[in-house]
Structure 1
Amino acid sequence: MKQRKIPMRMCTGCMEMKPKKELIRIVKSPEGIISVDLTGKKSGRGAYICKNLECLNKAFKAKRLNKNLEAVIDEEIYQRLKDEIADEE
């Protein structure tokens, strides 16, 4: 049987390549709305972050999510990500 390829994405916090299923996706829709995409299927430009508060804090300090999504991210999105990560742990 043929081995399936595992899609890899880079975490914006630690800058490591990890399997897509292990990461949380933040997406900017074509209308410019930024949201947390837990399914990984919403249309738009996406950025990925580990399910780790340390990575989220690194990405927040360096404003990497803002750069990757080419938009300003509200505090409420960061809070939602923190809540999501806390639920995972």
Structure 2
Amino acid sequence: MPVPVAAARKRPVNLTLSEALVTQAKAYTDNLSATMEALLADYVAAQQGARRDRQRRVDACMADWNAVSASIGSFADEHSTL
């Protein structure tokens, strides 16, 4: 379960960002750290959602394949090398 961003312990980190981009961003926010943290939190949430979606698709595919296998068996079952 993710920790809410406001409740999480904060620590300084080093980032390498374009100086020109930082200058432009400061024109839009008084708190660049909070803005970057919010953007990073959104990115992480989107990536977690994408991972869950991929896993759901894999699970559905495996369930379908298992149903086919249970229903008609495997092609390889008819071709034993023993």
TM-score by length of 2: 0.28
* Greater Rg over alpha carbons, structure: 2
Higher relative contact order (CA 8 A, sep 6+): 1
TM-score by length of 1: 0.26
Larger proportion of strand:
1
Larger proportion of helix:
2
